[in-house]
Structure 1
Amino acid sequence: MANQDQKETVPVPRPELFDFHGVSMVHSMTDNWDNVQNFQAKPDDILIATYPKAGTTWVSHMLDLLYFGKSSPKRGVSLPIYERVPFLEICIPFLPTGVESADKMTTSPRLIKTHLPVQFVPKSFWEQKCRIVYVARNAKDNVVSYFHFDRMNSAQPEPGDWTSYLQKFQEGKLLFGSWYDHVKGWWEKKQAYPKLLYVHYEDLAEDMDRELDRVCSFLGVCPTEEERCQVKEGVEFDAMKNNRMTNYSTIDVLDFKISPFMRKGKVGDWKNHFTVYQNEQFDKEYKKKMMSTTLWFRNEI
């Protein structure tokens, strides 16, 4: 029995980052690369794209409720979000890949999520003129959220301490690479690709009604007032945090004793993590890296 207990407590080694066409990646996101790149999108597919920890689950659940909340009212509390909205690039042993999960979907439209930088998105999404919702979060809150996620997720590279993590973020040495390149790359794509809606996390937090209007208008959906209320109630932070189908508590590699998957969902929590010096240094670096873009973020609301 002691041996069995010992086996159960052996920690799984965390993956190492490596450079993949100029972007920091891990094997679970690149091992199925050819199949990801050859993925056949359908014209009515909707791609939800984000840098990690920028509101992916929030917007995925919102869109799922908008499209299927009326026809399948129990879906949002009986089917995990990662089955309703498969993660395109993921490839983990003994589980269906993201591509396989997406290919098997019978719902229409198919909602698919990705954390890929824009240059890695399979070309069929552009060829089929699919609608894409990109969600971006201010850098300071994003790095804090990503840090706590990496602490509790053994399928992610070892985060180290907060100070070194902040440095890695600035250098683009986190999974899916540079936040700066990610948000700017998608912003530039938006200028040339009209079927891309660029949503800010801070705007969602400030006024869900207004942003829901924007999303519905972009998608061409017209929910009734009752349906809108159901969506808004369903995507409230506490509702999602307490819903096992959205809070990722069904996933073994996530250690909720270290941190919950959904921690605070606040704008401005970075102030509880950054020292004055870290904030000053971060702002200097940020200014340099964002100088060439019209994209801007709010660090508080």
Structure 2
Amino acid sequence: METERPTMFDFQGVQMTHFFTDNWENVQNFQARPDDVLIATYPKAGTTWVSYLLDLLYFRQTAQERQASVPIYDRVPFLEIIHPCLESGKDLADKLPTSPRLIKTHFPVQFVPKSFWEQNSRLVYVARNAKDNMVSYFHFDRMNKVQPWPGDWNNYFQRFLDGKMVFGSWYDHVSGWWEKKKTCPNIHYMFYEDLIEDTGREIDKLCSFLGLSPSAEEKEKLASGVQFDNMKKDSMANYSTNPVMDFKISPFMRKGKVGDWKDHFTVAQNEQFDEDYKKKMKDPTLKFRTEI
């Protein structure tokens, strides 16, 4: 299993694998449109959840057949991926029949193709607290053959602190996008924990950012439709049809909880983490909750 896994390398100061850099020029030259919506996250921070939510928000009434027959990773292509078993994310995005096109990326903000900024496309960024994000990423790396093999939890824990993760350091990622949001009104910055706490409230904020006005009844249906347990059972949302995921190891959608880190961190790790966090989180305005 480990032989076919990719290795990480430094790419413009960010740890990456060839599955996300082999198509670099084509991806950088991607032609965004003004009505595109780019969903950006650090891996395992609620990407699929928000992709699914946006897809329902825009197309639940007009393209129901797509929801029942096209997996979410084809409805919302992963822009930078290129893998022999899959169509390239860029080609999928180019061919999307929907308007707006919903596209996802895990790029740190400096890697986003410049046409998204030039076209004033809207960008939705989702951030998740580092402790839960780390745990989720660990289980994901165990079952996803596109990712380097994670090794044991203790080493992984240290790697996360060192920023030796595909798509780079969690700190750089969430802070880079937060910084950009201060000068760019086209970025809507969301927190995973807020979505869990009050999905309806977060849908309201999202609608107001996107200029959508669904009815109260519509919003209620949405909020219940995107609850974790419903998505986990939906084969078009849970990635069970994706050839690079090994569900024998772990499901793609595992728990979707806030605070699962408590089942993984030792007391010593938690102390080490908190110390490290204080040093690395420079911006006091960017605040995360590790429990709700």
Specify the TM-score bucket, using the shorter chain as the normaliser.
Answer: over 0.9
What displacement does 1:253 show?
2.1
- 1:74 is paired with a residue whose SS is helix
TM-score after normalising by structure 2: 0.98
1:116 match: 107
Task: Please tell me the residue identity of whatever aligns with 1:72.
Answer: A
What displacement does 1:106 show?
1.7
How far apart are the structure 2 equivalents of 1:158 and 1:127? 37
Q: Is the 8 A contact 2:85 2:243 kept in 1?
A: no
Q: Is the 8 A contact 1:77 1:243 kept in 2?
A: no
Task: Please tell me the residue identity of whatever aligns with 1:209.
Answer: G
Say whether residues 1:52 and 2:32 are aligned partners.
Answer: no
1:190 match: 181
Percent of pairs with identical residues = 67
- 1:183 is paired with a residue whose SS is helix
How far apart are the structure 2 equivalents of 1:72 and 1:291? 44
Say whether residues 1:77 and 2:63 are aligned partners.
Answer: no
What displacement does 1:94 show?
5.0
Say whether residues 1:172 and 2:189 are aligned partners.
Answer: no
Q: Is the 8 A contact 1:28 1:91 kept in 2?
A: yes
Q: 1:25 to 1:11 in 2, by over 3 A?
A: closer
1:230 match: 221
Per-residue Cα deviation, 1:165-224 (whole angstroms, up to 9, x for no partner): 010001111100000000000000000000100000000000011100000000000112
How far apart are the structure 2 equivalents of 1:75 and 1:273? 38
Which residues of structure 1 form unaligned runs of 5+?
1-9
How far apart are the structure 1 equivalents of 2:244 and 2:83? 12
How far apart are the structure 1 equivalents of 2:135 and 2:46? 13
Q: Is the 8 A contact 1:18 1:24 kept in 2?
A: yes
How far apart are the structure 2 equivalents of 1:207 and 1:196? 21
Equivalenced residues, count: 292
| 1:69-218 correspondence runs (5 A) | 69-218=60-209
- 1:214 is paired with a residue whose SS is helix
How far apart are the structure 2 equivalents of 1:153 and 1:278? 25
What displacement does 1:232 show?
1.4
**One of 262, 275, 286 as aligned partner of 1:295:** 286
Say whether residues 1:16 and 2:7 are aligned partners.
Answer: yes
Q: Which has the larger radius of gyration?
A: 1
- 2:104 is paired with a residue whose SS is strand
Q: Is the 8 A contact 2:21 2:80 kept in 1?
A: yes
What displacement does 1:229 show?
2.5
Q: Is the 8 A contact 1:32 1:91 kept in 2?
A: yes
Higher mean C-alpha displacement, 67-76 vs 83-92:
67-76
How far apart are the structure 2 equivalents of 1:76 and 1:139? 31
Which residues of structure 2 form unaligned runs of 5+?
none
1:66 match: 57
- 1:113 is paired with a residue whose SS is strand
Higher mean C-alpha displacement, 226-235 vs 120-129:
226-235
Per-residue Cα deviation, 1:53-98 (whole angstroms, up to 9, x for no partner): 0000000000000000011223323210011000000011253211
How far apart are the structure 2 equivalents of 1:54 and 1:241? 16
Say whether residues 1:239 and 2:239 are aligned partners.
Answer: no
How far apart are the structure 2 equivalents of 1:266 and 1:295? 21
How far apart are the structure 2 equivalents of 1:284 and 1:102? 41
What displacement does 1:292 show?
3.7
Q: Is the 8 A contact 1:184 1:293 kept in 2?
A: no
